Every structure is written in C-alpha cells, then in structure tokens.
Amino acid sequence: RSCSPGRARRMNASRRACLVARFGDIYAQERLDAETLLRTYISDTEMVQRIIYIAALESFHAAKMAYRQFKIRVRETLSLGHSGPESLEDAVLDYILRHEDLYDVQASVNEVIRSMNISPKISFPPEIDFIVISTLIRALCHVAFSMQTLVPPLDVAIGTDGELFSETKYHRSIDSDFTAALVAYHVWPALMENDVVIVKGEAVTKR
C-alpha cells in the first residue's frame, strides 16, 4: 500500500511561516499592550518586563502540555479504526489541525496564571491579578499550541539570569550596557527549531 503524506505535512512550510510571523506580531503588539497595562500598576520597568517574559515561557509550557494530552486522546480514538492510506501519526496530526478549536485555551491561560502566582522571580500588587494580561497569555498559548503541530515543532529558549549574552540568540534592549557580557534579565524569548534560533529574543545586559 502506498503511503501518502498527510495534509498537515504538505502544508507544513506555509503554516510555519504564518506562525513565525504571528509570534513576531505578538512581540510587536500584544506584548507592548501588556507592558502598557502593567505599568499602570507597577512602576518598576524591570519587573514589568520580567512578568511578560515569564508569561511567555509559562504559556509555551502550558500549551505544550495541553497538546501532548490532546494528541494522546486523538491517537487512542483514531487507532481503533485506522487503516490508511496515511500513517496513523499523519492522521492524528491532520485531525488535530482540523479540530484545533477543541483546544481548551482558557484552561491553559488559567494554568499560566497559577504558575505565575507562585513564581519566585516576579511579584505583583496583591490587589491585582495576572489576569490583566490574559490577552497576551491567550495569544501566546494559541500560537504555541499550533507550533506543536509543525514538523519539527517550534519552541522558545529558556534563559537564565546571569548567562553569557549570545548575539545569535538575543537582541540587546535599548537600555542595556552594550559592553556588558552577561544577561541581567530577559525581555522576550528566542524562538527555536531543533535548538537553532529562528527568531531572536530580547535581553538586558548590565554590569
């Protein structure tokens, strides 16, 4: 029996281009909107940018977990009656693409906010909730979930404070010390494909 590649794989390049562009749009639009909103509650610019960075990392983590669970359920269901011509893996991918609207993005948003509430790196005035930046979190969860349907999937790099600044991975923020070798904190994560940077993130370097 000849095996035809699934629709998901055939459309992979165009979907990848759209999702990479969407990630850039979120950086340019939703991130800045969230920053403006947070500044009404927090005067510390570093804390505002740290909050947004953690939100991005947590959104990708929550969306990847949701995707894995969704994929397991779909594979279990389709394996009962699958006969081809495409492989079961391709059939699973095609099904997920056709039914991406079944992704419970609100559950992921809630998970991200829960994780942010216990993060030791960020703090928020007790009378305010991280839900104020849920528009950004929702957009990130959506794009992160869709990026898991790519072959290979895309992910964000997890940076650590004090790491050596990498020109290939980050742009320096405008308020950086451009002679400093170490990252003080991160503003936005780099987008990766198989450990290769495809979109640079942003970091602040200071002595």
pLDDT tens-digit readout, 11-45: 788 999 999 999 999 999 999 999 999 999 999 99
Strand order in the sheet with 154-156: 154-156, 191-193, 196-199
Query: What is the per-residue pLDDT across 46-76, written as a single tens digit (0 to 9) for each?
Result: 999 999 999 999 999 999 999 999 988 887 7
Query: What is the per-residue pLDDT across 186-197, written as a single tens digit (0 to 9) for each?
Result: 999 999 999 999
The CA distance from 172 to 170, in Å, is 6
Long-range pairs of 119-123 with CB within 8 A, sequence gap ≥ 24: 119/54, 119/58, 121/50, 121/54, 122/47, 122/50, 122/51, 122/54, 123/47
Q: How far is CA 30 from CA 134, 140, 181, 205, 206, in A?
A: 10, 9, 29, 24, 26
Q: How confident is the model at residue 3 (pLDDT cuts 50, 70, 90)?
A: very low
Tokens describing residue 27 = 């950086």
pTM across the whole model: 0.89
Q: What is the pLDDT of residue 93?
A: 81
Query: What is the per-residue pLDDT across 117-144, written as a single tens digit (0 to 9) for each?
Result: 999 889 888 777 899 999 999 999 999 9
Cα torsion 9, 12, 13, 15 to 10°: value is: 160
- On the question of a cis peptide bond just before residue 120, with omega within 30 degrees of 0, the verdict is no
The CA distance from 34 to 52, in Å, is 8
The residue ranges of every structural domain in the chain are 5-150, 157-206
